[in-house]
Amino acid sequence: MLRPVFCPFIIRLMRAVEAMRLEAELIYGQLRETVLEISEPLAWAKIPVAEGEYLHSNGTIIGIVQHVATCKYIYGSAAFRSLDVRFRDCFARMEEIGTSWDGTVKFLGDSQAYWMAAWADLADEELDAGRASFRGDLRPTWKLIGTVTQHDAHHLGQIQMLGAVLTPAVSPPDMELEEEKKHCLDLPSW
């Protein structure tokens, strides 16, 4: 696949928000490309987790992708959309999706569209302004956007590594959503 090549001079002419959108779309594109190469049985494969260890997922690729999708909704909703989507809404969707890989890939695509639309009209002058995080505290807008972009990159690496070393599962995993809910119930974005 051809990768875009950017001239540093052209990037200097971009507005900061344009550069952030470009970075977010490029990293998401790599994440989506990787996710589309994963089969459902491979997405179900689980890494062993040490007792008491918390991974923000059940230790499967499908769990990680659902986690990434949820975070895009929650960050976009808290910072830009007055909490029109909450954790409870995302958990309801994940319960509906269950272990469907196709449903999970759609959830990820929908979350990216929501996330990018949430800050589509953002101006450079607003990047230093404080916006609500899902925890209720205020953070600079640039930092919230950067966090979501780097979150994609972080989990992209995990998915690529897991996809290379795991053996496809023969049956769907327990998504362990009740365990995940425990970490979100007390948040103002629940």
- Report how far apart, in Å, the C-alpha atoms of 7 and of each of 26, 29, 102, 146 are: 15, 20, 37, 22
Closest among 101, 108, 111 to 62, alpha carbons compared: 101
Q: Report, in angstroms and rounded to the nearest whole number, the Rg of the chain calculated over CA atoms.
A: 17
Cβ-contact 43, 101 below 8 angstroms: yes
Task: Give the relative orientation of helices 101-118 and 87-97 as an angle to the nearest 10 degrees.
Answer: 150
pLDDT tens, residue by residue, 138-168: 999 999 999 999 999 999 999 999 999 999 9
pLDDT value at residue 10: 53
Predicted pLDDT of residue 101: 98
Residues of the chain with pLDDT under 70: 1-13
**Is 121 in contact with 15 (CB distance < 8 Å)?**
no
pLDDT at 75: 98
| CATH level 3 topology of 34-181 | Four Helix Bundle (Hemerythrin (Met), subunit A) (1.20.120)
Q: What is the overall mean pLDDT for the chain?
A: 93
DSSP state of 126: G
Q: Which residue in 142, 145, 173, 139 sits closest to 49, CA to CA?
A: 173
Q: 22 with 129: CB under 8 angstroms?
A: no
Q: Report pLDDT for 1.
A: 47
Domains of the chain, by residue range, sit at 34-181
pLDDT of residue 9: 54
3-state secondary structure of 114: helix
Per-residue confidence (pLDDT) for residue 7, from 0 to 100? 55
